[in-house]
Structure 1
Amino acid sequence: MISAQSGLRQQWNIVSPDADAESVTRLAREVGCPEAIALLLMSRGIVDASTAKTFFNPSLDDLIDPMLMLGMPEAVARIQQAVRGGEPILIYGDYDVDGTTATVLLKTAIERTAAKDRPAVVTYHVPHRLREGYGMQTGVLGTAAASGVRLVISVDTGIRAFAAADEAKALGLDLIVTDHHLPDDVVGVPNAIAVINPAQEGCGYPFKSLCGAGVAFKLAHAILSAAAETEEERSKLRNSLIPSFLKLVAIATIADSVPLEGENRVIVALGLRELRNPVQPGLRALMQVAQIPANRPPTATEVGFRLAPRINAAGRMDIASEVVELFLTRDSERASTLAEKLNRLNDDRRATEAKALEDIETRLVCLRGDDGVFPAECIVFDDPAWHRGVLGILASRIVDRTGRPALVLTHEDGHAHGSGRSIDGFHLLDALTAVHTEGDALFTKFGGHAHAVGFSLPSGSVEALQTRMRTYSSSLLNGALLAPPLECDVELSFHELTSEFFDWLTRCGPFGVGNPEPVFVTRRVTLSADVRLIKERHICLQLFREDEPARFSALGWSRATDWPSRCAEMGLQRGSVVDIAYRLKCATNPQFPGLELELLDINLS
């Protein structure tokens, strides 16, 4: 493939499981699935029927005991003490999907553990992205202490909040940190009565990739379990409360792009199931404005591209605390009002993003070399006109367009604020750590993980950031990272693409990072008609194989690949014989039901 972002031909890497045909047939027979699905399972390391059946049937029993997490016993005991003593508790959240849903989960759980005649006093603070920025602020802690708060619990933030932790101690506040971001390798973790983060050193929790809401859910699960004293209460916890909580955890897990494997896949699979026709007014109203049908569980794609952007829009464009209110309110009218506001904010976000992308596209054209290839370095763009709320999205778009890691910044009152996104194999937080310590310290604040970071620095230091990132990244970004092979799962014939196969394929989901949607290869297929353009940007091919009756439409969406130019370059026309790499989809147009192919790459046979 000649990729629009790299100018390099992409190779296809078809995963070959270490199994013979007899083993594939045996697994298919024992599981009851098509052999192509058995081959797909083996290509992903699932080689026996027992593991396969667990994979296809995730259950609450697959959730890991939260008490295995370092710091959990101390956190549970301190929260119980606060609830029983009537101490005011502050939950310190964050302004994205992960942080707001985590706030809702923990507030709800703590309140449920209180006695009916003595309700828990739980407030929350969700920072304003523009006025406060990311992370715990000492001023907020001072206000909380003055109001009588004695226990602060962070969610999805705090793992590097060393100054805030010291301030909390000086104010007489007990602090519990729950977070999933990577701790500081040198300093360690903040001084708190408990730090709950599976990524911290010494934590024996076996699954390390929970999102922030996932970690908060673990604390919620632990305190609810501790409060359940009778068999009836334990039954209600298992059969009602935990499944209900998993709805929001699933949304956050998908939105935060953590790997959908292990416990995360269990959380999302169960949570999506519970999202069918929700009764909570806010969630129901949000799904309605996002046009997600209520008669079936939503897909991970619908959550990621319809629900999550509307939730994030509040933090990006306005006040994220309204998301917490949306998910806590029992007033259907208020819920509808808030959901409609999130919908409008998302429209505003899209318009703001589109305007900035026009400028970015112009810059990218200038950045290409004479050979049409982008430099082998991290791209750093800044503009004071760009809205801070969309910087992460803009960085993602640059990565999609160029195949390079990207940092995008804007300026305000002498300070630059930025977000970054990366590619596989280039650890972005390590990169920021390296350039920060290369000479004079660059950042006033930074954090994140391998694929996503946030940071701030003086505006006058942006040029130094560009220079250091260029030097650091160019030494690491090579051909293998910039033009990775297209990972393909199984080579199939058209006759294997049946409705039964698609049903089994759907059960292999939910798909996302760590459990990518399978990519298939079919060779020597023939175009039964000339290439059809869709809106001058996309393409539709009609394909068949000479030895098979099945025919399929294959759609090429021009996001990172200029499909019309690609087809013209290869001279594709009726009768052309090609090899294709694709994903299998169910057609969304009711006039043309059935299965269709989403093209990822195409080569002449």
Structure 2
Amino acid sequence: MSTAPVGNPAGLPAWTTRPADETAVQNLTDALGCPQAIAQILVSRTISDAAAAKTFFTPTLDDLIDPMLMLGMDTAVARIQHAVRSSQPILIYGDYDVDGTTATVLLKTAIERIAPKETPATVTYHVPHRIREGYGMQNGVLGQAAASGVRLVISVDTGIRAFAAAEEAKALGMDLIVTDHHLPDGVIGIPAAVAVLNPAQQNCPYPFKHLCGAAVAFKLAHALLLATTETEEQRAKLKRGLIPSFLKLVAIATIADSVPLEGENRVIAALGLKDLRNPVQPGLRALMQVAQIPINRPPTATEVGFRLAPRINAAGRMDIAGDVVELFLTKDPARASALADKLNRLNDERRATEAKALEAIEAQLAALRDSLGDYLAECIILDDPEWHRGVLGILASRVVDRTGRPAIVMTHEDGHAHGSGRSIDGFHLLDAISAVHEPLTPSDAPLFSRFGGHAHAVGFSMPSDRMPLLRERMQRYGAPRLTGEITAPPLECDAELLLSDLTQSFYDWLTRCEPFGIGNREPVFLTRGLILSAPVRFIKEKHICLPLQSPGLQSSGTTNRISALGWSRTTDWPARCAEIGLNTGSQLDVAYRLKAKTNPQFPGLELELVALRPA
């Protein structure tokens, strides 16, 4: 299976097919009885034998990794057990996004479960306010906790760079356990805590390194619950009941945090999505209802990522993220319904705020196009004091979608710039801002007041008057690294098909490869030489529908006609059609994702356009 380009019109990325050993593909096709294109997808994703394919298609709880393999887990479990036995108040220090709020719920629930009924654990939580406090642990909050009698603080989805907070906790007489997934400081290392749980830290033997923050908290919760079981029957009950219940929230966080859906993350996401069908917990049920996700079937990763997650995140973006924790902890259906409705309203407010900011962003991008052409090789940096800090990450993602470049979006308040960045494959954004942060001369000051993140997403704050320095340093850093191979990568297709291959049986096999996301992207297929059988139909003036058919006659019973929809989120499809000069009878090569029609009155399959070119 060649990776050579399958055609490259001038000015457009090449189209390639993913590499897959032909012998391995045929062997897997025969072993599974699946379409060859499905076997090709699996082999190209390093799944080349029937046993590995079975695990991929049907992961089980037995595929979860032993939490005790994580460095520091035994110490963390022992310290929490001591706190529970000694009735020491415990504070969980969370974060305001999906990852941090769900992690808070999981760990609070687990600690309360391991406490004896006669002496229940005292577990409080603090979820910071995005605007008033910002990301990370604050000394003031720790001081208040110590004054209230807290003797153990456990961070979730934060803390790996909380060096000052760790020293403050120690000075206040409190122990600190850090659970996080963000990358540690490469120079200083990790904070001085009783235990640090993070598979990304140096010397951690945990074999899977890409868990989200809620998954790391889940590992601690799982270890705590296992430590309280004494018999096989108790362990089996835990496995049947509480662990699947926890995985629902961990799956939501895993999908929302855009970690790779491979390895253990795939197990978590697949099992969690399956158990999200008909949820019992009132808050989760109410949230799925306001998000208009049917509860008579498992939701898809797309539904979680684009319907559930934005509503959960809206609390931290626009108001108080603690509402999310309460939503997932309450047993009162009426209170759950009220909180879900509030999150829904906040999400509407977030969308309106985002739409207004996007108008200004489009104007700034137009100015950049006029002055820099294709933006040269730089990271896109935009700012406006009117933009809401709660939507900066979303705005940065939109800029990446529109430009194919890493993007940093900032707003200003009281002389400080607050920024959020998103990146593209091949450009490690945390490495970039770490590099530009360092002073160039002894008389220079560090660039940022605070920063953190990972390869694809970062957040920071800095004095506003240092923005020119940020632009200069990022351009210097990005110029040699943002090459054409990174900013205009070839379009990689998973397999080449005929329309007659697109049967319901093929689609059923394809759905077994879900959930899709980073690390297990939704397959893109290529079909050549399709005929536009009628004029292009425009939908709301910015989307398109193409009626396509195979050239020539097909044998009876096979598919030879299908509709292709182009949604103008990242591609201006009407402009693309005009550029090609589409007319009835035009012959096209089409790259697409295969979808089931959503209208039950018109069942069948359709194509979602990824790219289009003359045959």
Partner of 2:224: 223
Give the deviation of 1:547 after TM superposition: 4.1
Partner of 2:487: 482
Give the deviation of 1:592 after TM superposition: 2.5
Q: Distance in 2 between matches of 1:547 and 1:582?
A: 22
* C-alpha contact 1:95 1:320 (8 A) present in aligned 2: yes
Alignment deviations for residues 544-587 of structure 1 (CA, whole Å, 9 cap, x no partner): 11243521100111122111111122111111111110000001
Partner of 2:581: 571
Residue identity matched to 1:190: P
**1:32-181 aligned within 5 A:** 32-181=33-182
Alignment deviations for residues 284-335 of structure 1 (CA, whole Å, 9 cap, x no partner): 0000000000100000000000000000000000000010000000000000
> Is it true that 1:293 corresponds to 2:298 in the alignment?
no
Instruction: Indicate the structure whose relative CO is greater, using CA pairs within 8 Å and at least 6 residues apart.
Output: 1
Q: Distance in 2 between matches of 1:232 and 1:314?
A: 40
Partner of 2:426: 425
- Aligned to 2:451, the other structure's residue is in SS state strand
Partner of 2:446: 441
- Aligned to 1:368, the other structure's residue is in SS state helix
* C-alpha contact 1:94 1:127 (8 A) present in aligned 2: yes
- Aligned to 1:257, the other structure's residue is in SS state coil
* C-alpha contact 1:534 1:540 (8 A) present in aligned 2: yes
Partner of 2:187: 186
**TM-aligned CA distance change 1:233 to 1:18, over 3 Å:** same
Give the deviation of 1:32 after TM superposition: 2.6
Q: Distance in 2 between matches of 1:500 and 1:74?
A: 51
> Is it true that 1:268 corresponds to 2:269 in the alignment?
yes
Residue identity matched to 1:505: L
> Is it true that 1:597 corresponds to 2:607 in the alignment?
yes
- Aligned to 1:278, the other structure's residue is in SS state coil
Partner of 1:11: 14
Pick one of 555, 563, 580 that aligns with 2:565. Answer: 555
Give the deviation of 1:45 after TM superposition: 1.7
| TM-score of the pair, normalised by structure 2 | 0.96
* C-alpha contact 1:554 1:596 (8 A) present in aligned 2: yes
Partner of 2:252: 251
Residue identity matched to 2:146: A
Residue identity matched to 1:77: A
Q: Distance in 1 between matches of 2:193 and 2:11?
A: 50
Partner of 2:3: none
> Is it true that 1:503 corresponds to 2:504 in the alignment?
no
CA RMSD of aligned residues (A): 1.2
Give the deviation of 1:29 after TM superposition: 2.6
**1:507-526 aligned within 5 A:** 507-526=512-531
Alignment deviations for residues 65-85 of structure 1 (CA, whole Å, 9 cap, x no partner): 000000000000000000011
- Aligned to 1:286, the other structure's residue is in SS state helix
Partner of 2:410: 409
Residue identity matched to 1:237: L
Q: Distance in 2 between matches of 1:29 and 1:117?
A: 59
Structure 1 range deviating more: 326-335 or 524-533: 524-533
Where in structure 1 are there 5+ consecutive unaligned residues? 1-6
- Aligned to 1:375, the other structure's residue is in SS state coil
Q: Distance in 2 between matches of 1:603 and 1:547?
A: 23
Residue identity matched to 1:11: A
**1:310-349 aligned within 5 A:** 310-349=311-350
Alignment deviations for residues 156-193 of structure 1 (CA, whole Å, 9 cap, x no partner): 00000000000011111000000000000000000001
Where in structure 2 are there 5+ consecutive unaligned residues? 1-9
* C-alpha contact 1:13 1:487 (8 A) present in aligned 2: yes
Percent same amino acid among aligned pairs? 73
**1:527-542 aligned within 5 A:** 527-542=532-547
Q: Distance in 2 between matches of 1:192 and 1:565?
A: 56
**1:303-314 aligned within 5 A:** 303-314=304-315
Q: Distance in 1 between matches of 2:452 and 2:27?
A: 48
* C-alpha contact 1:8 1:483 (8 A) present in aligned 2: no
Q: Distance in 2 between matches of 1:28 and 1:450?
A: 36
* C-alpha contact 1:367 1:375 (8 A) present in aligned 2: no
Q: Distance in 2 between matches of 1:331 and 1:466?
A: 51
Give the deviation of 1:513 after TM superposition: 0.4
> Is it true that 1:470 corresponds to 2:480 in the alignment?
no
Q: Distance in 2 between matches of 1:502 and 1:305?
A: 22
Alignment deviations for residues 136-159 of structure 1 (CA, whole Å, 9 cap, x no partner): 001111110010000000000000
Q: Distance in 1 between matches of 2:275 and 2:538?
A: 40
* C-alpha contact 1:368 1:375 (8 A) present in aligned 2: no
Q: Distance in 1 between matches of 2:422 and 2:25?
A: 39
Give the deviation of 1:369 after TM superposition: 4.0
Give the deviation of 1:25 after TM superposition: 3.5
Partner of 2:4: none
**TM-aligned CA distance change 1:433 to 1:525, over 3 Å:** same
Give the deviation of 1:368 after TM superposition: 0.5
Q: Distance in 1 between matches of 2:170 and 2:506?
A: 58
Q: Distance in 2 between matches of 1:58 and 1:197?
A: 24
Structure 1 range deviating more: 23-32 or 96-105: 23-32
* C-alpha contact 1:581 1:600 (8 A) present in aligned 2: yes
Q: Distance in 2 between matches of 1:388 and 1:457?
A: 14
